[in-house]
Structure 1
Amino acid sequence: MSLIKSISGIRGTIGGKVNDNLTPLDVVKFASAFGTWLQNNKNKKDLTLVIGRDARISGQMVSSLVTATLQGLGINVIDLGLSTTPTVEIMVPELNADGGIILTASHNPKQWNALKLLNEKGEFITGENGAEVLALAESEDFNYAEVDDLGKYETRDDAFDIHIQQILDLPMVDVEAIKAKNFKVALDAVNSTGGIAIPMLLDKLGCETIKLYCEPTGHFPHNPEPLKEHLGDICELMKKENADVGVVVDPDVDRLALIDEKGEMFGEEYTLVAVADYLLKHKKGAAISNLSSSRALRDVARSHDSEYFASAVGEVNVVTLMKEKNAVIGGEGNGGIIYPDLHYGRDSLVGVALFLTHLAKENKTVSELRAGYPSYFMGKKKIELTPEIDVDAILSKMEQEYQKEDVSTVDGVKIDFENNWVHLRKSNTEPIIRIYTEAHSQEEADQLGDDIIAKIKSLI
């Protein structure tokens, strides 16, 4: 079964049977549910939704289904076509729309696609709202428009320009400082829409771009999750071309990984750390990440006399806490940068601009910059689930097993040991348990993960 319905949207593999995979009928039903939910909750007659998609192969098909369904409900559609998640988020309020739908399965392989749902602020809908949409999808209580009341359809081809200009206009993005450095940037965009948007941004910043996998064909040349084990090609390209920095984004461009001038990973966790270091030097305030993110962000925040807070995992939870604490910067350790002066969404484009500003002003190489941060190493593992396994019971047993340690159950089970930690949680998007660890060496972090996996297996 490869159809996952959650409060954050619907995600699945293309093809197969209805209710088991992401079939055309499932797409229509879920788009109908979201459109109907908006109609039920808006005190206005004419509604407009913005849609955009990444470059995956099924994107055009899914987009056509969503567009026709919304028009069938009497909702107007503004179609950005090939876009990025942050670009769609920017354009919803820019166009005074009532919401948005992003068609992307993010870091999942090419057979997957998904519908991600946005409110009128261009932010992901809340868990409560998502539950209401799911209930509507189950009830199929839809009322489609008559022929004279069908929604209108239009396209926009200026969304990237608008998004990039808003980034260039940010006071904390120093365009002239970046231009003065003439940075040589290698880019791996995994043959999706980052291959369009990121070079446009880098050109405006006066950088030379060395492109790798930048054709938006949707044929991902490697696993699209921007992890070290998938990025051998760009690491080699960095050394071959003597580039200053490597930029890697996932298919929908909301996760940013960096590579230093030696072809070594900067560390996905440290994207947020570096950007926070730059921003908190100039403005004291809270920094936010989730429970599975590195302690390094806490350390950097404290070095600038700023506060650090951790939310439950999930962008919606991070954003909620950021608003509550009026945070200067936030995000997730998977390379997701949320800069509220632009918008409340993970955005690799603003991440690139802020990082390059920091790099230019520090007058260091990427490896020198990384060496200045606390040395932590993350381990990320997972266990495949089967229907007969009671995952909640396993998590409860793990909580009991380590009750003498500092244990949090705010989101799954996080066990804080003196020198390291492990966080166990069920994925919202895939049928797995994710296991995050952190320690003072990669070997220690990986070993901790293996030990925890062995412990879980002993309890199954």
Structure 2
Amino acid sequence: MTLIKSISGIRGTIGGSIGENLTPIDIVKFSAAYGQWIKTQRNKEHYKVVIGRDARISGKMVQSLVMQTLSGMGIHVVDLELSTTPTVEVAVTMEHADGGIILTASHNPKQWNALKLLNKDGEFLNAEEGQQILEFVDEGKVEFAEVDQLGKISYHNAYIDLHIEEVMKLNLVEVDQIKEAKIKVVVDAVNSTGGISIPPLLEMLGVEVIKLYCEPNGKFPHNPEPLAKNLSELSKKVVEENADFGIAVDPDVDRLALVDEKGEMFGEEYTLVSVADYVLSRRKGATVSNLSSSRALRDVTEKHGCKYYASAVGEVNVVAKMKEVNAVIGGEGNGGIIYPELHYGRDSLVGVALFLSLLTEKQIKVSELRSTYTSYFMAKEKIELTPQLDVDLLLDRMAEKYQGEEVSTIDGVKIDFAEEWVHLRKSNTEPIVRIYTEAKSQNKADDLAKRFITELKEMS
């Protein structure tokens, strides 16, 4: 069992020992540290934090602990109850709150839960802010409120509807066009809050919805990460129902995966690629993804005469780069769409609406749309580290060896060759070096990964 404290929050498995698992004591300590941090950001009389959770079984218990801890610090809480990560992000700004917490372990199995922390802009904390909270945890310097200054808890369960309304109001969401197309879609929401957000959005857009695992009871029917190996039932259902395509989201609804009308994966990397293609066709501007995302986004961006930028891995880094270059669309290759017209956070609801706008504009099948993009294939490997290994020195040597190629060192080492690339980076949570490669065939991607595993071992 596990407890992981990092600058992005705390996550772990429910049950077990204090300091080794995500126990009630650890939840309270971390919530209090976040509350203390909130009070350092602005000097004001009243503070407000928005809380929402995915549908996992431990959610109610964790949420009660978090809310009552913040109340004990004199912080008012807006409880969204069952919600999604992007909905909480939207709610923070609409409530003019001082921060927000999403209780979700994202794609991790049911025994996991986590606290994802947001700032007053509804965005994830940066490294410096996260480090401040970790210091509050370690030092235990937390001030609780006196009895007359306890925070109040209010309930607001309409934010998913408000979120949907905001999506439908976006200029690039062609509501009438989508309604006229008479689309049929199968939705696999892995029995979490995608089941109470994606189908209502689709229905508002006039789409016929076939629900698969849309009951938000937290009983995940399969591994909740929206990868091809976990979505066989969705693929089968799309074909059986003669649907136009299938939609899969993870438990907190910030990752979007698509299945075409033949039951074949559209490709998680190509969710962002296709949506960016649509946005750029209407509005020119920069795009951003992280260094480990597909080159296909760069191809599409340059096709529209625009500039592509790469950031370090991690949503907060993508967002920072998007703001720096004033990007019109960005995200991560795991199916995360960030559309700043609404907010700076991965959002499957926005992704669905923009994808439907593209599909109905082109009036082609999903498989035909996919064939319009260059096919790239990825390999993902890792090497376990030994205590005596100087990884930073190893990566410096690798960058020096390939200095004749296009090399980026903003997050590990990425080497861009003419038709393929490799990205080597040290994991923030495990004692491993991750090796990502991409090429125009799976064999070439696999071979490139094997080649660099060998080179790393020879250098160490």
Query: Residue 192 of structure 2 corresponds to which residue in structure 1?
Result: 192
One-letter amino acid matched to 2:267: G
Query: Residue 324 of structure 1 corresponds to which residue in structure 2?
Result: 324
C-alpha displacement of 1:383:
4.6
Task: State the SS of the aligned residue for 1:265.
Answer: coil
C-alpha displacement of 1:397:
5.4
Query: Residue 348 of structure 1 corresponds to which residue in structure 2?
Result: 348
After TM superposition, the structure 1 = structure 2 runs for residues 213-362 of structure 1, keeping only pairs within 5 Å, are 213-362=213-362
Deviation string 1:18-77 (CA, Å, 9 cap, x unpaired) is: 222211111111111110011122110110100001111111111111011101111011
CA distance in 2 between partners of 1:321 and 1:419 (Å): 25
CA distance in 2 between partners of 1:459 and 1:213 (Å): 48
C-alpha displacement of 1:426:
3.0
Deviation string 1:375-418 (CA, Å, 9 cap, x unpaired) is: 21222334556777665455445445655544322101212223
CA distance in 1 between partners of 2:19 and 2:237 (Å): 43
Stretch of structure 1 that moved more, 107-116 or 358-367: 107-116
Q: CA RMSD in A?
A: 1.8
Distance 1:384 1:186, change over 3 A: farther
Query: Residue 38 of structure 1 corresponds to which residue in structure 2?
Result: 38
How high is the sequence identity, in percent, across the aligned residues? 64
The alignment of Structure 1 onto Structure 2 pairs a total of residues equal to: 460
C-alpha displacement of 1:292:
0.8
Task: State the SS of the aligned residue for 1:164.
Answer: helix
Stretch of structure 1 that moved more, 87-96 or 371-380: 371-380
Conserved 8 A contact 1:412-1:425: yes
Stretch of structure 1 that moved more, 279-288 or 375-384: 375-384
Conserved 8 A contact 1:4-1:430: no
Task: State the SS of the aligned residue for 2:60.
Answer: helix
After TM superposition, the structure 1 = structure 2 runs for residues 77-116 of structure 1, keeping only pairs within 5 Å, are 77-116=77-116
After TM superposition, the structure 1 = structure 2 runs for residues 172-183 of structure 1, keeping only pairs within 5 Å, are 172-183=172-183
Distance 1:162 1:264, change over 3 A: same
Quick check: 1:449 aligned with 2:453?
no
After TM superposition, the structure 1 = structure 2 runs for residues 309-458 of structure 1, keeping only pairs within 5 Å, are 309-383=309-383, 391-392=391-392, 394-396=394-396, 398-399=398-399, 402=402, 405-429=405-429, 432-456=432-456
CA distance in 2 between partners of 1:19 and 1:397 (Å): 38
Task: State the SS of the aligned residue for 1:210.
Answer: strand
Distance 1:211 1:391, change over 3 A: farther
CA distance in 2 between partners of 1:387 and 1:87 (Å): 42
Quick check: 1:3 aligned with 2:3?
yes
Conserved 8 A contact 1:11-1:429: no
CA distance in 2 between partners of 1:56 and 1:381 (Å): 29
TM-score (norm 2): 0.95
TM-score (norm 1): 0.95
CA distance in 1 between partners of 2:94 and 2:356 (Å): 26
C-alpha displacement of 1:432:
4.6
Stretch of structure 1 that moved more, 218-227 or 260-269: 218-227
CA distance in 2 between partners of 1:431 and 1:105 (Å): 21
In structure 2, list runs of 5 or more residues that go unmatched: none
CA distance in 1 between partners of 2:195 and 2:385 (Å): 34
